Amino acid sequence: MPSKLEALNRWVDEVAGKTRPDRVHWCDGSDAEYRSLVDGMLKTGDLIELNPQTHPRCYLHRSDPRDVARVEKLTVICTKNRDDAGPNNHWMDPAEAHAKIDALFDGCMQGRTMYVIPYCMGPIGSPLSRCGVEITDSPYVVANMRIMTRMGTAARERIEREGSFVKGLHSTGELDPERRWIMHFPEELTIKSYGSGYGGNALLGKKCHALRIASWQARSEGWLAEHMLIVGIENPRHEIRYVAAAFPSACGKTNLAMLIPPEGYRRDGWKGWTVGDDICWMRPGRDGRLYAINPEAGFFGVAPGTSAHTNANALAMLQHDTLFTNVAVTADNQPWWEGLDGRKPVKDWQGRDYDPANGPAAHPNSRFTVRASQCPSWSPEAENPEGVPIDAIVFGGRRASLVPLVMEARDWTHGVLLGASMASETTAAATGQVGLIRRDPMAMKPFCGYNYGDYFAHWLSFDRPGAQLAKVFHVNWFRKGKDGRFLWPGFGDNLRVLEWMLKRVTGEADAVETPIGRLPRAEDINLDGLELPDGALDELLQVDNEAWRAELAAIGAYLDGYGDRLPEALRAEHRRVADALDAASSGAAPRRAAAAAS
């Protein structure tokens, strides 16, 4: 039997034989290696040094203008059985997929260096962690992987010990959008990506491994790989409780992960501890509670909108040792993006003289890559191999109307329905189309590596004897009043809502039962030190029965799209809520009249 190490060597040889690089470099993850990669990219122009006085060791990368985001239509799940990928994924037959992409890999690394990147998703010593190896011809990918993962010798040693790892093969290729694929073979624990150097398409540890492949592994091994931030909330009694939260894009996940309490709360001793801003792997521990790790070691965050007001922690961590991609620069060569401050940029993200007629100076999807440990609110518990215990799971969306500021699920099954029913209004930055409502269950639409029907069943399966599951909530920071203004101040003030949730967990706060879930009364949310217009909180907590009946009908139609793979228990839960709404309506509730009057 070949040694476990040989499996890795054999695959590397096989890939080198196919792609024919001039050199093969095994990454050790050292500082010296990172330094020499950066120096090389400064020489080729792949990186541009930013102002070393204001931003020491910060560099700008300008991507090909045709290669600035993930491409969902070229992202495919390749399973033997088409139904295993589900209607939520693009599917291709594995043999056909391999043939298609292997033709593109043929000789594609000639004249280039092939980098072999062993990496570990999660703390090196954690039983919850999983390893992978990415082979790439992009030094930009290596530099990003070094920041985003535990990369190098320690990961290689764990792989040699365990023998199993996710194989990721990536080449930047010609960057032709017509010759670009991001393919996943979950049954082979393999990823192949060609023709893009960008973020989620190329840094294979993140969306490809830690979500699409991991969600598949998690289902067969009894855990959850989720698109969630993890934040610890410390109260004045120095108790820290952990919250995992899923939001679709453009809802401020990174901001919530790095939350800074309002002034009065800070004075009382409240604090936010960042464990993760994007991905959460969790599993039941021996005590039945869910324990979570962040598989990542860095942040690959959207730059526009990040400021001292929206996220002072992020701004502080971006002052040194950061890679920026597709941001603008000021006259003194500092990174700049829309929403940062009142200064004017001189060069846009493509390196052109800034002209507002060309659109925003920074690309709306421009990014920073930075070590998580540079965040002032970084939690030491992020390195705990056991993970952190999760007390609350929060789902959310951007909804201008209908959806209340916060509600609590009656039980786990209802919580799964709340997650499965998630939807968000699109923003210009994300899609160009504003205000369309998109269904995005658990914020996993682009990332669930298998059939959503099976995924909902997997979620439901955690409710079993002995389980001490987290309470489930749904929030909406984005409800608007009749004047079109946001009713809730959001940002640090969201702690007021988190406080209610955590007091529900400990039995210290009240709630009222409604057909859609349990809501706080207005007096249950602490508004000390906050000037909220009269009636705003009442409006935020309003439940419009008729409008919710229409919403339940829309949710039902959406879930029906998963056909017989949709678990009957979820269908029954949907029917239960719909029936409760119908009953409340026929009960001649005066609530509706009151809502229409003012």
Q: Which amino acid is at 493?
A: D
Q: In the complex, which residue's CB is closest to ligand TSX? A: 252
The whole-angstrom separation of Cα 56 and Cα 37 is 17
- DSSP string spanning 296-314? -SEEEEE-TT--TTT-HHH
x/- letters, 261..290, toward Mn ion (CB under 5 A): -----------------x------------
The entry of ligand TSX, Mn ion, none that residue 486 binds, CB within 5 to 8 Å by partner kind: ligand TSX
491 binds ligand TSX (CB under 6 A): yes
Q: Which is nearer to Mn ion, 150 or 207 (CB)?
A: 207
Q: Which is nearer to ligand TSX, 215 or 310 (CB)?
A: 310
- Contacts for 375 with CB less than 8 Å, ≥ 6 apart: 258, 274, 299, 313, 314, 316, 317
State in angstroms the smallest separation of the CB of 251 from Mn ion: 10
Q: Is 347 left (phi over 0), alpha (psi -120 to 50) or beta?
A: beta
In the region spanning residues 268 to 307, those forming contacts with ligand TSX, defined by CB under 6 A, are 305
Binding residue (CB under 6 A) for ligand TSX from 136, 144, 190, 255:
255
In the region spanning residues 234 to 253, those forming contacts with ligand TSX, defined by CB under 6 A, are 250, 252
The whole-angstrom separation of Cα 581 and Cα 548 is 7
C-alpha dihedral, 411 to 412 to 413 to 419, nearest 10°: 110
Q: Which is nearer to ligand TSX, 202 or 243 (CB)?
A: 243
Dihedrals phi, psi of 500, to nearest 5 degrees: -60, -45
Q: Which residues are catalytic?
A: 251
State in angstroms the smallest separation of the CB of 203 from Mn ion: 12
The entry of ligand TSX, Mn ion, none that residue 460 binds, CB within 5 to 8 Å by partner kind: none
Binding residue (CB under 6 A) for ligand TSX from 486, 526, 592, 595:
486
Q: Which is nearer to ligand TSX, 530 or 572 (CB)?
A: 530
In which element (H, E) is residue 182 found?
Answer: strand 181-185
Q: Which is nearer to ligand TSX, 181 or 477 (CB)?
A: 477
State in angstroms the smallest separation of the CB of 264 from ligand TSX: 17
Q: Which amino acid is at 416?
A: V
296 binds Mn ion (CB under 5 A): no
Dihedrals phi, psi of 27, to nearest 5 degrees: -80, 135
- Contacts for 87 with CB less than 8 Å, ≥ 6 apart: 451, 452, 561, 562
Structure tokens at 576: 């239960």
Binding residue (CB under 6 A) for ligand TSX from 40, 87, 489, 561:
489
Q: Which is nearer to ligand TSX, 473 or 478 (CB)?
A: 478
State in angstroms the smallest separation of the CB of 538 from ligand TSX: 18
Q: Taking Cα atoms as reference points, which of 341, 261, 298, 165 lies closest to residue 502?
A: 261
The whole-angstrom separation of Cα 125 and Cα 591 is 55
477 binds ligand TSX (CB under 6 A): yes
Q: Which is nearer to ligand TSX, 276 or 284 (CB)?
A: 276
Residue span binding ligand TSX (CB under 6 A) among the ranges 152-160, 255-263, 525-533, 566-574: 255-263
The entry of ligand TSX, Mn ion, none that residue 366 binds, CB within 5 to 8 Å by partner kind: none
- DSSP string spanning 539-588? HHT---HHHHHHHHHHHHHHHHTTGGGS-HHHHHHHHHHHHHHHHHHHTT
In the region spanning residues 199 to 228, those forming contacts with ligand TSX, defined by CB under 6 A, are none
The entry of Mn ion, ligand TSX, none that residue 58 binds, CB within 5 to 8 Å by partner kind: none
CB count within 10 Å of CB 520 equals: 24
Residue span binding ligand TSX (CB under 6 A) among the ranges 39-47, 263-271, 372-380, 490-498: 490-498
State in angstroms the smallest separation of the CB of 202 from ligand TSX: 23
CA 53 from centre of chain: 32
Dihedrals phi, psi of 307, to nearest 5 degrees: -150, 175
CB count within 10 Å of CB 560 equals: 11
Q: Are 11 and 167 in contact (CB under 8 A)?
A: yes
Q: Which is nearer to ligand TSX, 304 or 335 (CB)?
A: 304
The entry of Mn ion, ligand TSX, none that residue 40 binds, CB within 5 to 8 Å by partner kind: none
State in angstroms the smallest separation of the CB of 229 from ligand TSX: 10
If binding means CB under 6 A, how many residues of this protein chain bind ligand TSX?
A: 13
Q: Which is nearer to ligand TSX, 168 or 520 (CB)?
A: 520
The entry of ligand TSX, Mn ion, none that residue 278 binds, CB within 5 to 8 Å by partner kind: Mn ion
Q: Are 280 and 228 in contact (CB under 8 A)?
A: yes
The whole-angstrom separation of Cα 275 and Cα 529 is 28
Q: What residue ranges bind ligand TSX (CB under 6 A)? A: 250, 252, 255-256, 259, 305, 477-478, 486, 489-491, 494
Q: Which residues bind Mn ion (CB under 5 A)?
A: 278
